[in-house]
A and B are shown apart, each in its own frame.
Chain A
Amino acid sequence: MPDVTFRISTGSAEQNEEKTYRVPVAEGWVVLDAVHYIQAHEAPDLAVRWNCKAAKCGSCSAEVNGKPKLMCKTRLDDFADGEEIVVYPLKTFPRIKDLVTDVSWNYEVAKKIKPFTPAKDTKWSMDQRDMDRVQEFRKCIECFLCQDVCHVLRNHDKKPEFAGPRSFVRIANLEMHPLDTASRLDFLKNEGGLGYCNITKCCTEVCPEDIHITDNAIIPLKERLVDEYYDPIAKLFKVFSGK
């Protein structure tokens, strides 16, 4: 296979420098292989975060030719012959060094979400159909590519007011759980800022786990907020049925 040119963003929080490398690639390589090659042969101090190289740990998130991707899941044969490959770190989070960013904000948000709360006398028997629905959300590998691409965070920097798609997936998993008794609707409407999402689906487009974030998590949660806050008929029904 012919050599491929890689342009890699290096530097710190305050300074960005692009460095170019020619890499002799082999059949079946992914972007992370090339980054490892560069680390091994040309730039031993190049910082990159990775663990599994199997698209399962969510560590190697980056932006490849402008698109948020897992480096270990981005095959080189998906690029045109002779195409230069540009690798940047996630741009929505502060850079620590080179391709490594500080994504701790996402864990801070997760702490604010009420955890799974079963009733005291729960029987612990569940219907498979109910589990089938929430199983999709449990595939999340916390790569934060969805948080990176979401324009509410990326372009409008609404970090304090908007929890982001990854958090909505977590909340959908809990809210739709048949044995959970807590409500997170108030958090969603206020602190979590679900209303800022304009369902433009970039989160869904980039999710490496193919979670239908917008259709199966966000929109159903929006509809639950409508039940609770915007639908006068549902409100009346609740008053009369006592539910």
Chain B
Amino acid sequence: MANSPRTMEKSGFGATQRTDAWWLQPVATAAGLGAFVVYSTLRAFENNFYTVGPYLSPFYSPLIDIGMGISPALLILWAPAGFRTTCYYYRKAYYRAFFRDPAACAVGESNEHKYCGETKFPFILQNLHRFMFYVAVIFIFILWHDAYKAFFFEDGVGMGVGTIVMILNATFLSGYTFGCHSFRHLIGGKRDTFQDGNASHGCWMGASKLNAKHMNWAWLSLFWVGFTDFYVRSVASGLFSDFRIF
């Protein structure tokens, strides 16, 4: 802005008068997201150790094995990846951590970069997030079904630590999915009045409750889906064995 002290100051990436550790959050976000992307990519290509006993890794569910050496994970991971990439929370996270647009509030950005926000391709496609939500709901049903199947061992009904891990996975992913902003809109937020919609108001309130902690659900479910895969992989590869509770 012309005529403000800002024009008389240093500009460019990182220019700020803030004295706190503003860089910590973007660095931590980049590290967390980066670690997950690396781990999940390696696992998707590994095409091995994804099922053991009644457990199936969420990276490989639903299991679509077309052979030809193509990993089943590669056929389905576009859906959760697309859902998370277009999620309003993750957009904030990666615009800040990777695009540095802005890295933190009241902190300078790289000089002379053209900014279009979400008005042009490819970011205008973020507007299609609700379609990824529809797909994600199908996955939630599938993952709950996987958690249910995790009770059925070869020697009958039982429960292992893996069963709990899978149930928590479906729970956390449900908390994340049903706190989605698009869902919150579709289930009631789009109305201007709840006068004739008690059920809609109840659903909207429920979604709003989850939505208020959407970031926490996003990280918890991300970590846990990775951990669930790690657990299944470890048991399948013999790194450690599953503990049977009954």
User: Which A residues form the contact surface with B (CB < 8 A)?
Assistant: 9, 11, 13-16, 63, 65-68, 83, 86, 88-95, 101, 127, 129-130, 149, 151-159, 175-178, 180, 193, 195-202, 205-206, 214-215, 219-220, 222-227, 229-231
A235 CB to closest chain B CB (Å) equals 13
Segment with Cβ contacts to A, from B38-46, B61-69, B188-196: B188-196
Check: B16 CB closer than 8 A to any chain A CB. yes
Within 8 A of A (CB), among B135-193: 181-182, 184-186, 189-190, 192-193
Task: Please report the C-alpha to C-alpha distance between residue A195 and residue B16 in the assembled complex, in whole angstroms.
Answer: 26
A225-B127 in contact (CB<8A): yes
Q: How far is the CB of B176 from chain A (nearest CB, A)?
A: 15
Contact A156–B115 (Cβ < 8 Å) = yes
Contact assessment for A155 and B181 in the assembled complex, using a CB-CB cutoff below 8 Å:
no
The answer to whether A193 and B119 touch across the interface, beta carbons within 8 angstroms, is yes
CB distance from A22 to the nearest CB of B (A): 19
CA of A129 to CA of B193 in the docked complex: distance in angstroms? Answer: 8
Q: Is the CB of B105 within 8 A of A127?
A: no
How far, in whole Å, are A153 and B2 apart by their CA atoms in the complex?
12
Given A180-B192, A215-B212, the answer on whether A92 and B1 have CB atoms closer than 8 Å is yes
Of A92, A129, A206, the contact of B194 (CB 8 Å cutoff): A129
With known contacts A67-B106, A154-B106, A94–B4 Cβ distance under 8 A: yes
How far is it, in angstroms, between the C-alpha of A220 and the C-alpha of B208 when the chains are bound?
12
Bound: A191/B123 CA distance, A = 19
Distance between Cα atoms of A130 and B192 in the complex (Å) = 7
Nearest residue, chain B, Cβ from A177:
B192
- How many Å from the CB of A215 to the closest CB on chain B? 7
User: How close is A229's CB to chain B, nearest CB, in angstroms?
Assistant: 8
Question: A86 near B17 (CB under 8 angstroms)?
Answer: yes
Chain B contact residues, majority secondary structure: loop
Interface size on B, residues (CB 8 A): 48
Number of A-B residue pairs at CB separation under 8 A: 153
Chain A residues contacting B105 (CB-CB under 8 Å) are: 67-68, 149, 151, 202, 205-206
Please indicate the chain A residues that have their CB under 8 angstroms from the CB of B108 in the complex. 155
Interface centre among A151, A153, A224 (most CB of B within 10 A): A151
| With A91-B1, A93-B1, A94-B3 as contacts: A231 and B88 at CB distance below 8 Å | no
Interface string of B99-125 (1 = CB under 8 A from A): 001100110110000011111000110
Chain A positions within 8 Å of B201 at CB level: 129
Residues of chain A within 8 A of B5, CB atoms compared: 9, 11, 16, 88-89, 91, 95
Among B48-56, B89-97, B233-241, the stretch that binds chain A is B89-97
Can you list the 3 inter-chain pairs with the closest CB atoms, starting with the nearest?
A: A66-B17, A66-B18, A202-B105
Is residue B245 contacting chain A, with contact meaning CB distance below 8 A?
no
Q: Contacting B192 at CB < 8 Å: which of A65, A66, A178? A: A178
Assembled-state Cα–Cα distance A202/B105 (Å): 5
**Would you list 10 pairs from A and B whose C-beta atoms are within 8 A, ordered by A residue?**
A65-B20, A66-B17, A83-B19, A95-B3, A95-B5, A130-B193, A155-B109, A158-B115, A202-B106, A223-B189
